[in-house]
A and B are shown apart, each in its own frame.
Chain A
Amino acid sequence: MTDLLSVLPYAVAGWLLLWGLYGIVTSKNLVHLVICLVVMQSATYVLLLAIGYKSGAVAPVYADMPPGTPAVDPLVQALMLTDIVVEATVAALLLALAVQAHERGGSLDPARLARLKG
């Protein structure tokens, strides 16, 4: 059981990455495609947290515990925060492009937007 738990977060990260990619490849709607990209990116959160986790350790917030208490790695958590902010901005930008694509091409289906108009 412990063996399973020691690899499960990595497996979840890989699963999210591949499943999100499958969604992007087969997507019929640009909004759905952006959400699939967000799913793919959440694989990086799981991976970062898994790498920084230490058995029996608590969150790295020393407001209510004595200094020296074992805590998980705060660096990967800070990196994850950066990751989330970047993901939110990328999603906002892509959704704005989807709005424009719908306005100019009349559809959100990537297959129907294949023709360029100039």
Chain B
Amino acid sequence: MKALRLLLFAAGALGLAAAFVGAGRKLPPVGSYAGAYGEVLNAVALGERRATDVVSAVNFDYRGLDTLGEEFILFTSVLAVATILRRQEDEEDEEDEPKWEPRKAPESDAVRTLGGVLVPLMVSFGLYMISHGAVSPGGGFQGGLVLASAPLVVYLCATAKTFLRIAPPGLTRAGESIGAAGYVLIGCLGVLAGKTFLENVLPLGTPGNAWSSGTILFLNLTVGLAVAAGFTELLSVFVEEVLRREA
């Protein structure tokens, strides 16, 4: 059975490798970039949008609609994980389910002190990345993840109950919804101004300032909120499961 499976894989992999090599031979050598879009974007993004980070300008302006879709993929996935894992009220605990020993807060001073130092650093760095997405590498997605890791460090340094106290599920769910809806509302500003959806209609400011590039800043803020809240919601689903088994 296993040998048959490996044989099938080897045949398929050989075919795939051959197709890959065949396709790769037609690709230009690495380093001799021949695309047109990259050059155009690099030339116009700074002047048109006053965004010094061209990647953010692409994500939140030129391809803003795709990022809306991306944010909703994230939203749907968090919803799906919560639906799959969260226990329904009427679902009975199985009798043979092993109970877990309650996890105590770590007694090590080193762990707790390091956590106390890390959490404020992570929160301020996450907020910095979200708010400076249009200026330097980073943005809503990256900063949101850094923010969402802060409650996880709290969980490592304390107990599951502490995690749920600083990140109550009601709050994270509200944050995720407000973040996702905020993106759409900012997009509607363009329609209200008589232009197209997600058109950059706000004042553009000075390049290099956090307060620059119009809607890119605000879209980054909403995405940061949605990502931070969404991933904290994912973590809290698991933490609730830990608490239930301990009870």
Binding site for B on A (CB under 8 A): 3, 5-11, 14, 17-18, 21-22, 25-26, 50-55, 57, 59-63, 67-68, 71-78, 81-82, 84-86, 89-90, 92-93, 96-97, 99-100
- Tell whether, in the assembled complex, residue B30 and residue A5 are in contact, meaning their CB atoms are under 8 Å apart: yes
Q: How far, in angstroms, from A75 to B54 measured CA to CA in the complex?
A: 9
Q: Say which residue of A50, A63, A85 sits within 8 Å of B208 (CB atoms).
A: A63
Residues of A within 8 A of B80 (CB): 93, 96
- Tell whether, in the assembled complex, residue A22 and residue B9 are in contact, meaning their CB atoms are under 8 Å apart: yes
- Tell whether, in the assembled complex, residue A99 and residue B85 are in contact, meaning their CB atoms are under 8 Å apart: yes
- Tell whether, in the assembled complex, residue A14 and residue B141 are in contact, meaning their CB atoms are under 8 Å apart: no
B55 at interface, CB cutoff 8 A = yes
Grouping DSSP codes into helix (H, G, I), strand (E, B) and loop, the A interface class, with mixed when no group exceeds half, is helix
Q: How far, in angstroms, from A77 to B85 measured CA to CA in the complex?
A: 33
- Tell whether, in the assembled complex, residue A74 and residue B30 are in contact, meaning their CB atoms are under 8 Å apart: no
**Chain B 16-33 interface 0/1 with A at a Cβ cutoff of 8 Å (1 = within):** 110011001001011111
The contact sample of 17 A-B pairs, CB cut-off 8 A, is A8-B30, A10-B24, A10-B30, A18-B13, A22-B13, A26-B9, A54-B31, A54-B38, A55-B32, A60-B53, A61-B54, A61-B55, A61-B136, A62-B207, A67-B47, A84-B141, A86-B73
Given contacts A6-B30, A7-B29, A92-B234, A60 and B84 within 8 Å (CB-CB): no
CB of A56, distance to nearest CB on chain B (Å): 8
Q: How far, in angstroms, from A75 to B58 measured CA to CA in the complex?
A: 7
- Tell whether, in the assembled complex, residue B55 and residue A78 are in contact, meaning their CB atoms are under 8 Å apart: yes
Residues of B within 8 A of A55 (CB): 31-32
Taking A55-B31, A67-B47, A78-B63 as known contacts, 17 extra A-B pairs with beta carbons closer than 8 A to each other, sorted by chain A number, are A10-B24, A17-B16, A26-B9, A52-B33, A61-B136, A61-B137, A62-B52, A62-B207, A63-B135, A73-B33, A74-B45, A74-B54, A75-B37, A82-B59, A85-B73, A92-B81, A97-B84
Residues of A within 8 A of B17 (CB): 14, 18
B77 at interface, CB cutoff 8 A = yes
CB of B223, distance to nearest CB on chain A (Å): 10
CB of A54, distance to nearest CB on chain B (Å): 4
Q: Say which residue of B16, B21, B42, B77 sits within 8 Å of A93 (CB atoms).
A: B77
